[in-house]
Structure 1
Amino acid sequence: MKQKILLLFTVFSLIACKRESKNSSSDWTNISTRTQFKEHDGVLELKSGKFTYHFKQNQIPFKKIILLNASMAGYISELGAENLIIGVSSPEYIYSEKIQQLLENGKIQNVGSEQKYDVEKIISLKPDAIFTNHIASFDNTYELLKNNGIQVIFLDEYKEQKPLEKTAYIKLFGEFLGKEKEADARYKEIQKNYDDLKQMALTAKEKPVVLANEMYGDVWYLPGGNTSVAHYIADANASYIMKDNKDEKALTMTFEEVYAKAGGVQYWVNAGSHASKKEMLAMNPFYGKLDVFTKGKMYTIAGKEKLKANDFFESGAVRADLILKDYIKIFHPELLPGYQLTYMKELQ
């Protein structure tokens, strides 16, 4: 028995030493300007927007987590860690077949929606941590969860506008779930794919003009020139009509304002998730006045959609390389002759 205890002590000492050597680094790992983390003195420190967290060695890796945003499921699935999820909100928006199967089998619980969380159920599940975007109107709920000893972690991945910075959140999830090496390797692979595709796009002979998004009511919400959509279009070697704009948010315009800018447009991307041009025209007859509607090519983001769930917002949050590949296939099909679109779908 003493020999077994001594052996265990030796193993734990080696693990602690190995961990401590990693912790000696004072360098921050920058996900983006919003989010950074580092390990020091046996503590994982995270800065996420206006929130700061400190996690001791005995707190991570997490074994039981709850996700309150479907987009975060993409990171967990990419790391093959779906079995660590014990609860999700609004499961109808989650695309992952494995997560849906775990829900069906009762291994993952439905903990409400973004309109109303089931606080009692969340507390009864006793998660190690909850991952969510911060919604100010839920501050009282967050405080109640914290008062019951539940760690609530706010992440800003939805705010990131540079595609690979959004992908880089996989590194942070790797730290939390004890999959640091897998996360780092996966990020590097996606980054290399992205950079190689970007270089390939530069070999295209033409640089088509592109329009994006659609109208809601009387307003056309065009992506700003510094949004992820604009970055993808630029990296796919195409010319977005608002490329000179510097905003990281959507621009609100009337149809007339967009019409004045859309004369030379050849491609219209991210045109919602409509089933056909006919359906789109029925919703807004003004679309028929655009040359791109009648003469150009139009694409929706409905390539991987099931009922309310759309994988563009889930695995697409991580797989920036596949989204870029779709855009390159759309704008320069000759560069990827054998490739079938993943997230996008041509509107007929």
Structure 2
Amino acid sequence: MKSRIFLILAICALISCKRESKISSSQWISVSEYVQYNETGEALKLKSGNFTYDFKKNQIPFKKVILLNASMAGYISELGAEDLIIGVSSPEYIFSEKIQGKIKRGSIQNVGNEQKYDVEKIISLKPDAIFTNHIASFDNTYQLLKNNGIQVIFLDEYKEQKPLEKTAYLKLFGKLFGIDKKAEAEYTEIEKNYNELRKLALKAKEKPLVLANEMYGDVWYLPGGKTSVANYISDANAQYILNNNTEEKAVPMSFEEVFSKAKSVKYWVNAGNHISKKEMLNMNPFYGKLNVFNKGYVYGIGGREKEKANDFFESGIVRADWVLKDYIKIFHPELLPDYQLTYMKEVK
């Protein structure tokens, strides 16, 4: 009896080993923490967060796509693949001049916004794929689109906390659009620039203390110590006010808590897109109590804006090297004497 039990266990172990070999992680190519793909002769499998996709070779490369997030436009613009876009949501938030031109000429259609997508128009456009962040409240809409044969691909790049891993989504778009080599070349160039800038930052003599973000109502949502903002500050050779924190999400604090930690802060970054300190005080008089507000330097993300569109949330998602260069210029201006800020702007 025991021998039979051992035999059954051995067979089960062998079966499980065989199954594991079929889905071995070594077969998957990692793009970032949240995205992997596995390519065979007949198919391309994609893992994005909790979602898995199987594309047959005759389904890719995609020729017609719809974007439901402005950040997705940043990747496609970087690859020069704007002609593949046939629809976008909330076009007023897209910064790209080329995409805006296509919207005005009608070659890119407005398919609604995050309050309500125009499902009938989306279906009539017959896209090969839709790219979007996953919003649970839209699950019924996503299912309706899928029922009509439309591929809905969820890419939550905003969850990526390492700047270059956000950039690495270029590789994924390159794979899905059939421009792998171009995407790899673009990523390699940005990665090279980023690493050279990080080395340059180490030459700075000071390592200033930095505060980030701003208050909403009575709460200051500081980036956690493992967020992309914190990583940028660290790579720019500065000290973030929550550098010992281990959160990958925002850390809510009261003004009093921030005030007690911010006495020696020299730079305040990502302070919204305010046009002046006077405007900031009108919104929140408490800011006037901060030493950094009165004696330090305050920078917002208003360097590249057009009405509602802000390129920091578009090309800035992709061009990690340009964002890092801005931070280095702010914290260590002597290292980049001739450089003009791209996304950041001093609030005076």
TM-score above 0.5? yes
1:158 positional shift: 1.2
User: What TM-score, normalized by structure 1, do the two folds share?
Assistant: 0.92
Q: 1:47-89 deviations in whole A, cap 9, x for unaligned?
A: 0111111111110000000000110000000000001000000
Please name the residue that 2:344 is paired with. 344
Give 1:146-225 correspondences, 5 Å limit: 146-225=146-225
Give 1:102-181 correspondences, 5 Å limit: 102-181=102-181
Q: Quick one: distance in 2 between partners of 1:159 and 1:114? A: 19
Q: 1:126-169 deviations in whole A, cap 9, x for unaligned?
A: 00000011111111101110010101001121111100000000
1:29 positional shift: 2.0
Please name the residue that 1:85 is paired with. 85
Comparing 27-36 with 312-321, greater Cα deviation is found at 27-36
Aligned partner of residue 191 in structure 2, secondary structure: helix
Aligned partner of residue 58 in structure 1, secondary structure: helix
Q: Quick one: distance in 2 between partners of 1:33 and 1:194? A: 19
Give 1:1-348 correspondences, 5 Å limit: 27-348=27-348
User: What TM-score, normalized by structure 2, do the two folds share?
Assistant: 0.92
Q: Quick one: distance in 2 between partners of 1:284 and 1:149? A: 49
Q: 1:281-316 deviations in whole A, cap 9, x for unaligned?
A: 111111000000010011000000111100000001
Please name the residue that 1:20 is paired with. none
| Kept in 2: contact 1:44–1:54 (CA 8 A) | yes
Please name the residue that 1:21 is paired with. none
Q: Quick one: distance in 2 between partners of 1:170 and 1:100? A: 21
RMSD of aligned residue pairs (Cα, Å): 1.0
| Kept in 2: contact 1:262–1:290 (CA 8 A) | yes
Q: Quick one: distance in 2 between partners of 1:48 and 1:156? A: 8
Which letter does structure 2 place at the counterpart of 1:135?
Answer: I
| Kept in 1: contact 2:62–2:129 (CA 8 A) | yes
Which letter does structure 1 place at the counterpart of 2:176?
Answer: F
In percent, how many aligned pairs have the same letter?
Answer: 75
Q: How many residues align?
A: 324
Displacement over 4 Å in runs of 4+ = none
Q: Could you tell me which runs of 5 or more consecutive residues in structure 2 were left unpaired when the two chains were aligned.
A: 1-25
Q: Quick one: distance in 2 between partners of 1:318 and 1:130? A: 19
| Kept in 1: contact 2:33–2:165 (CA 8 A) | no
Which letter does structure 2 place at the counterpart of 1:120?
Answer: E
Q: 1:28-50 deviations in whole A, cap 9, x for unaligned?
A: 22122211012113211100111
